Structures are given as structure tokens and as C-alpha cells.
Chains A and B, each alone.
Chain A
Amino acid sequence: MIAMPLHKSVAIAAIAFALAAAGTLTLNDYFVYVVTIGAIFATLAVAFDVLLGFTGYLSLAHGALYGLGAYACALLTSRYGLSFWVALPLCGALTGAAGALIALLAFRTRGLYFAVLTLGIGLIGHQLFLVLPNLTGGVGGFVGIPGPEQPGWLAVHATTYYALLALTLLLVTFVCALLFVRSRLGAECLAVREDLTLAQALGIRVASARLAAFTFSAVFAGLAGALFASISSFIAPESFTVLGTGFQLVALVVVGGMGTLWGPILGAALLTALPEGLRVAATLSLLAYGVLLLIFIIFAPQGIASLISRAARRIGGGGREP
């Protein structure tokens, strides 16, 4: 796994962003909506990959963190009248802090226990959204969340604007994740993933590395949640369940390719587009996720990314490193 130079990766990401952004200008509202949701889930997936793919910890609490970002944004913009652009970084900071607290608790355990503990936190989070109606609107949901303010010079339809925002957040998240995994902390996270005991024996600060990875993923999950709330204008607890969003994230990253950052974007694209394309989004998308997860774990455990890398190497003439 020889990584390409940073500037090259960023350049490819920027080109992909430009193409996607240009594409949204030509699509009808329905497709623009699918792109928006896909980009938000891709943002979540990229952030999640830093923890799952690069650090080796499976968290099921991220659906709740995503929800925390969403409700925080809803409250700040509607009840406290803050601008979305002020609320957004506050939501990231809040979920980052919550993520750090969860991490301090959860990293007392390993492997299966870590997953189960974060599952518990995900369940608690979802329940809190239900039982605190004064803050969240309870089971009926939170209504009337203001959309992100649109600058006057950007003369596009609101849905297109939202798609551009979601794509921009995805680009920013991807570049930040890239910088993170290429940094010293990122190298230490890889060491934690590969062999915790050896990492400790080499004097790597295991605790701070994995805390940083968890917090990083929590911050960007919160930002994604905030954007989701603002552009949806209505949110309800069912969007932030463990099985829905929490498990969905795992599926996106595994199907896309863990530890690649760009694979999870493809995973999110596929898993958003497929149920929509089959017109079964509402009823059967979880089923589609489950089936795809099953197929990929059995036949291509390294995900779409590795299938593409392998194909590219074959076309590129064999021995070249991806």
C-alpha cells in the first residue's frame, strides 16, 4: 500500500469534486437530492474510516454522534437564532468533545467489547433524542430548522446549493482525513491497528493516537449531522438509530474499502444510489445494505477500492504499485 503523493491525491479529489459539482447543475431536483444525501453519507463514511479502517476500532456510537450534531444545529439555529455558519463549527466542537468523552470510556475495552460498549452508547443516544422532547421534539421530530444562508452571488436553486454544500463538506473532510492519516498521529493509529502490544513496546502513545482518531471522526460526523439537519429542515430520531445510521456507516466503509478514504466515498455512492435506483429506498435499503455487506465480506473483503486498484494494476501492466 504505497500511497500516492499528497498533492496528487488532493488534486484528484478536487477534480472529482468539480465534476460532481458541475454535474449537480445539470440534474433534476430528485437526483440533486440523492447526490446531497450521498455526499453527507460519504462525509460520515470518510470520517468513520479514520477510526475503523486506519485505527481498527469498530464504533456503533457514530449514528448518535451524527444525531447530536444534527439536534445541536437545529437548536442553535432555530431556538437561539444563530446563523448556520456560526452553528456549524460549534456542532463540530460539541460532537468532538462528546466523542472524546466516549472514547475515554470505550478505549478501556478492546475488540468485541469496544463494539458492544459503543453499541450501548448509540442506543442511549437514540433514546435521549426520543425522551427529551423539550430539546429534540421527541418522537414527533424537530420541525422548522432554518436552511443554511445562501450568499446572493450564488444564483442557483436552493436544492442545488445544498448539494454543493454537501459536496464541499465532503471535500474538506476528505482532505482533512488525508492530512490526518499521513501525519505522525496517523502513523501511530496504523501501529495501533496492526499490533497494539508492539506499538506500546515501541513507545508509541497509543492512548492519544486512538483518542485523536475517535475525536476526529466524531467532529466530522457532527458537521455532517449539522448540515443534514439544516438542509432537511426537519429531523427525527429515526434518522439516528444504531441499526439505521450506525450500522449503515460500517456497511459503507466495508463495502467501499476500509483504510483507503476514497473507497468509503464509492461505498456511500453505491449504497445511496442503489436503493434509490431500485425505488425501494424507504422500505428495503437496510436489506440491500445487509446483502451487499454479506457479498463483499465473503467475496471482496477489501471492498470496491481493492477491486478497482487491482483492475488498475492489471491495465497499468502488472507490477506497478497502486
Chain B
Amino acid sequence: MSLLQIRDIEARFGGVVALGGVSLDVPEGMIFGLIGPNGAGKTTLINMVSGLIAPTAGHIVFDGARGPWPIAQTVRRGIVRTFQQTRAFLGLSVRENLRIATVHSPDPASIDELIEACNLGDVLDRTARDLPYATLRHLGIALALALKPRLLLLDEPAVGLTVGEVERLGALVRRWNAAGITVLLVEHNVRFLMEVSQRVAVLDRGRLLFEGTPEQCQAEQKVIDVYLGRRAADADD
């Protein structure tokens, strides 16, 4: 059985349908990639799985229990997210950030492990606000890892990073995954996502367009059409 099952999740904001009934299975231990053009509903899906917004219809099943739950309970069950606009406690030092993230958890990760896992050793006493962009990203993810998640939701972690930084991020994601954390990765950077993920789903305008391995995905005409901005009708010519 999959660790996370998403079942017919629907999101309507007034008359706008952000998600029109999406179902997905994320097996335990996997890095699962989710792509789609702007407005496809990727972040909305993350918001709903993490408990930030309640779906208007549908449900999730996590580790056999039926959700979704409010955010605090979701975190306790082991689903932790990061944010697209990286969030950290900007006015505090890296060390204090990690202390805050670990102090309230009954079973937190060790701070030393987090420092190691996210390459934060050299910046412990720097204020988060003064960190380079890529390092702040790592800190944002370290705060999520502090809670020892079973499922980590990464919302566009590669945005704004240089090629080298993206490679380093990819290595870190693989390392956390190897340590037993299932990852649901939402990403615009298709190359990064295809390299890191073992399985990929494509959302388009609130619907699931495709699901399969990265290789299948890259060969799939529907996906290519969406990403190249061509209509299916044009492709038929």
C-alpha cells in the first residue's frame, strides 16, 4: 500500500476550479515528482496534503489513516512541507532556527545531524536574513527535516538556484531519501525533477495529465505538448 494516497481531491475557490478531482499514489521510500505549468494546481495540492487548506471534496489516506487533518495534526503524523518562497525565522541565527524547530517536537532530529544533512556548519551563528539564497533554502528544508518527517513535501526547492546549486540540492534530496524519507517534489525545473524523481506525475489545469516513470513521461506526446505550449490539434498536422 502506498504511504500517501490522494483520492479525488478537488479545490474550488469561488467559481475557479484549481483542482478538479486528482488521485495519486505516492509509495513509501520514493522520490515522487509533480510537474505542470503555472496554475496547474501543484501548490494547491501541496497545501491540501499539508493541511494548510481543506479540500472542497475528496480525501487523502496517509499511512492507513484517512485525512486530511489540520496542519498541526498533519505535522504530528509525519507530513512536513517547505514553502515556495523559502521561509525561515529570518531575524534569528541559524542555530536558533534549528533549536526552535527541534525544541517542541517529542522526537526531533539531532541538530548536529541537521547541520550535517543540510551543510549548515559554516553559518550557524549567521542571522538567517543574511544567508545566501541557496543556503537559506537549505535552512528552510532543515527546519522541516528537524521534525523527522516520513513524507517531505518540497514546494519548488530549485527556484532561483544556479546550476551548481541545483546539483547540490539534488544530491541532498537523494541523501535524505536514502535515509528513509519519502519525498513529494513539486518543481518547475523539469531537468532537475526528471533526474531526481523515480516517478513523475503531470498536472495541467487542475487535472492529472500523466503519471509514470521519468522516461515514459519524457516520451509522452501529451506532456510534450503541454510543455511546448502547442495544442494537440496542431501536433496532429
A interface residue numbers (CB < 8 A to B): 1-2, 184, 187-188, 190-191, 193-195, 197-198, 200-205, 321
Known contacts A201-B80, A203-B76; is A194 also within 8 Å of B91 by CB? Answer: yes
**Best-surrounded residue of B96, B125, B144 (most CB of chain A within 10 A):** B96
Contact B93 A197 (CB under 8 A): no
Contact A202 B125 (CB under 8 A): no
Given the complex of chains A and B, what is the CA–CA distance between A296 and B72 in angstroms? 39
Given the complex of chains A and B, what is the CA–CA distance between A194 and B127 in angstroms? 12
> Which residues of chain B have C-beta atoms less than 8 A from A203's C-beta?
71-72, 74-76, 80, 104-105, 147
Report how many A-B pairs have Cβ atoms within 8 Å.
73
Known contacts A201-B50, A201-B81, A202-B144; is A188 also within 8 Å of B104 by CB? Answer: yes
**Best-surrounded residue of A190, A193, A197 (most CB of chain B within 10 A):** A190
Contact A194 B89 (CB under 8 A): yes
B interface residue numbers (CB < 8 A to A): 50, 52, 71-72, 74-76, 80-81, 83, 87-93, 95-96, 99-101, 103-105, 125, 143-144, 146-147
Contact A1 B92 (CB under 8 A): yes
- Which one, B88, B92, B125, contacts A190 given CB within 8 A? B92
> Which residues of chain B have C-beta atoms less than 8 A from A190's C-beta?
89, 92, 96, 100
- Which one, A187, A194, A204, contacts B90 given CB within 8 A? A194
- Which one, B83, B103, B125, contacts A201 given CB within 8 A? B83
Given the complex of chains A and B, what is the CA–CA distance between A183 and B229 in angstroms? 54
Given the complex of chains A and B, what is the CA–CA distance between A1 and B101 in angstroms? 17
Given the complex of chains A and B, what is the CA–CA distance between A190 and B101 in angstroms? 11
> Which residues of chain B have C-beta atoms less than 8 A from A187's C-beta?
99-100, 103-104
Known contacts A187-B100, A321-B125; is A201 also within 8 Å of B89 by CB? Answer: no
> Which residues of chain A have C-beta atoms less than 8 A from B81's C-beta?
201
Given the complex of chains A and B, what is the CA–CA distance between A187 and B87 in angstroms? 17
- Which one, A2, A191, A202, contacts B80 given CB within 8 A? A202
Sorted nearest first, the 10 A-B pairs with minimum C-beta distance are A203-B75, A194-B89, A198-B87, A187-B103, A187-B100, A191-B100, A184-B103, A203-B72, A200-B71, A194-B91
Question: B56: shortest Cβ distance to chain A, in Å?
Answer: 21
Question: B43: shortest Cβ distance to chain A, in Å?
Answer: 13
Question: B109: shortest Cβ distance to chain A, in Å?
Answer: 12
* Nearest residue, chain B, Cβ from A209: B104
> Which residues of chain B have C-beta atoms less than 8 A from A321's C-beta?
125
> Which residues of chain A have C-beta atoms less than 8 A from B147's C-beta?
202-203
> Which residues of chain B have C-beta atoms less than 8 A from A188's C-beta?
100, 103-104
Question: B124: shortest Cβ distance to chain A, in Å?
Answer: 10
* Nearest residue, chain A, Cβ from B89: A194
Given the complex of chains A and B, what is the CA–CA distance between A197 and B52 in angstroms? 9
> Which residues of chain A have C-beta atoms less than 8 A from B92's C-beta?
1, 190, 194
Given the complex of chains A and B, what is the CA–CA distance between A25 and B74 in angstroms? 59
* Nearest residue, chain A, Cβ from B144: A202
Question: B123: shortest Cβ distance to chain A, in Å?
Answer: 14
Given the complex of chains A and B, what is the CA–CA distance between A194 and B101 in angstroms? 13
28 contacts between A and B (CB under 8 A): A1-B93, A2-B95, A190-B89, A190-B92, A190-B96, A190-B100, A191-B89, A191-B100, A194-B89, A194-B92, A195-B87, A195-B90, A197-B83, A198-B89, A200-B71, A201-B50, A201-B52, A201-B71, A201-B75, A201-B80, A201-B87, A202-B80, A202-B144, A203-B72, A203-B75, A203-B105, A204-B72, A321-B125
> Which residues of chain B have C-beta atoms less than 8 A from A2's C-beta?
93, 95, 125
Question: A182: shortest Cβ distance to chain B, in Å?
Answer: 10
> Which residues of chain A have C-beta atoms less than 8 A from B103's C-beta?
184, 187-188
**Best-surrounded residue of A193, A195, A203 (most CB of chain B within 10 A):** A203
Question: A256: shortest Cβ distance to chain B, in Å?
Answer: 18
Question: B75: shortest Cβ distance to chain A, in Å?
Answer: 3
* Nearest residue, chain A, Cβ from B105: A203
Given the complex of chains A and B, what is the CA–CA distance between A194 and B71 in angstroms? 18
Question: A139: shortest Cβ distance to chain B, in Å?
Answer: 44
